[in-house]
Amino acid sequence: MLKIILISIVALLLNAYDLSLEESFNKVLLNNDGLKASQQNVQKARKLKSAANMMYMPNIDLIGSYTYISDPIQFNMQLPLSSIMPILPNINHTTNISTNNLAYGIISIMYPLYTGGKRLSAGNIADLNIDDANFLMQLKKINLFEDLVKTYYGLILNLEILQTLLDVENGHKIHLENAIALEQNGQIAKLERLSAQVAYDKSKSKTLQAKDSLSIALLGFETILQDSNIMRDVTINQNGTIENLHLISPLKISLKELDSLESYQQKVLASYPALKSIEIKQMQAEELSNIEFADFLPTIGLYGGYIFKDNNVLLNKMIPNWNVGIVAKISIFSQKGRIFRYQASQIAQNEINYMRSQAKKDILLLTQKTYKEVVFAKESYENLESTLELAKENLRLQEEAFRNGMGDSAKVIDARNALSGAMIEIKNVEYRYILALAKLCVLSNDIDLFYTFYK
């Protein structure tokens, strides 16, 4: 049975797609919609920066108007000349200076010279929004890497656990066959054979559970990879192996030692995107406070205009064709509650300062915890090696004693279960080590560092 499984595995590997963790991550970066949304957010921030730059340009408006009035505008010229010279008659003359139709076109230009610093602060906020969008995109990338590590190595873990349980099931089957033969020869009691039967049945149930777990793990990997060209023909066969896919990054403890805890903490404080995003928000709060303060300052601007009109109309001849000027405005009292808004902006800065301080403490604690998890997992692995050797030797002795009629079935079963438990525990420790190591690299914002541990 074991020989058949090994032959099947070799045949499948020859036709399987070799996929490393690094290649998988490149495909995730290419296909993940969440990351694409983050990239669009960066593009949006850049467009808003371009919009902020337009605040330094003048406002130019084209205005057109048409008005119909019931009666033309008239000018009544009355000159009492007789009071000056009695021989002259009085002049009483009325003249239309407009028609019933009044139409005008106006080009209006307004250019702000001084806004109290609002334009400068708005531009700075737009720049900070671009930086923040980039940091959030970087955070999305490293979080995707951490999720991929969990899924990629989780699939390998489930596959290796299934292979271990299949070996255990095969061992229990052989033990049952030996027990049946010994019972028929009268060397053991029926109870011993029944004990072997129960152990074999339980092992088959555990194998079925492991197959279900492997199917779920494969589905999770397919979901995060999002590459139908690779996953289209990938299936799990009856022997518990994956067809048409070979994950080549090993599930094992790296021989490379970690740097000091302080070096990782320095990297985290210097480059972790979530911390950088909080720093951005702190700077944005300062700029928003400057904008609120600008409401107390005057605004100064240039203005000008040109009027298009019918100069054949006397009224229009009295209106100048163009005008320019300068205007200044300062608000004495405003319904906006300027003082309270400015005070709130100062409080917001204090709020973010506290958030940043607490975030630093939390991230340093998480870094220390993750570092210790890596170290502890490696130490646990080294300690489990002797346990594994003992379990192998104990099973060998118990099987030999049982075959010679000198042992009992329960001891063989316990020895085999102890061996499988030790093997599975070692694989789980290796998995925990890799997860903790990946987390440490993610906190350091250095994914390439993870790959160096397995070169």
Average pLDDT over residues 26-35: 96
Mean pLDDT of the chain: 90
Residue % of the chain over a pLDDT of 70 = 92
CA distance 371 to 369: 5
Token pair listed for 315? 């009224």
Residue 92 pLDDT grade (very low, low, confident, very high; cuts 50, 70, 90): low
> What does the alpha-carbon distance between residue 235 and residue 15 come to, in Å, rounded to a whole number?
13
Does residue 248 contact residue 18 with C-beta atoms inside 8 Å?
A: yes
- Distance of alpha carbon 320 from alpha carbon 180, whole angstroms: 118
With 60 as the cut, is the pLDDT of residue 4 above it? no
State both tokens at 190. Answer: 């029926």
Under the banding of pLDDT at 50, 70 and 90, the label for residue 86 is low
Measure the CA–CA gap between 377 and 156, rounded to whole angstroms.
Answer: 18
Please tell me the chain's helix, strand, coil percentages from 3-state DSSP, rounded to the nearest 5. Answer: 65, 15, 20
Predicted confidence at residue 305, as pLDDT, reads: 94
Alpha carbon dihedral 442, 445, 448, 451, in 10-degree steps, equals -20
Q: Pick the residue with more confidence: 186 or 204?
A: 204
Asked whether the predicted pLDDT for residue 245 surpasses 90, the reply is: yes
Q: Which tens digits make up the pLDDT trace of 72-84?
A: 877 665 555 455 5
Higher pLDDT, 28 or 93: 28
Query: In this structure, is the dihedral angle defined by the CA atoms of residues 192, 194, 198 and 200, taken in order, positive or negative?
Result: positive
Q: What is the pLDDT of residues 368-410, one digit of tens each?
A: 999 999 999 999 999 999 999 999 999 999 988 888 878 788 8
Indicate the pTM of the whole model. Answer: 0.86
- CA neighbor of 245 nearest in space, from 229, 267, 263, 223: 229
Q: Please measure the distance between the N-terminal and C-terminal CA atoms of the chain and give it in whole angstroms.
A: 35
Identify the pLDDT of residue 409. 85
Q: Which domains are delineated in the chain? A: 2-57+115-296+336-452 (1.20.1600.10), 67-111+299-330 (no CATH)
pLDDT for 159 equals 96
164 pLDDT above the threshold of 70 = yes
DSSP 171-193: HHHHHHHHHHHHHHTTSS-HHHH
Burial class (CB in 10 A: 0-12, 13-18, 19+), 223: exposed
| C-alpha span between 2 and 9 (Å, rounded) | 11
The two tokens of residue 375 are 């170290």
pLDDT of 337-355, one tens digit each?
A: 999 999 999 999 999 999 9
Mean pLDDT (whole number) for 260-277: 97
pLDDT tens digits, residue range 403-455?
A: 887 878 889 999 999 999 999 999 999 999 999 999 999 999 999 999 999 98
Structure tokens at 149: 């590590």
The pair of three-digit structure tokens given for residue 153, joined into one six-digit string: 């190595």
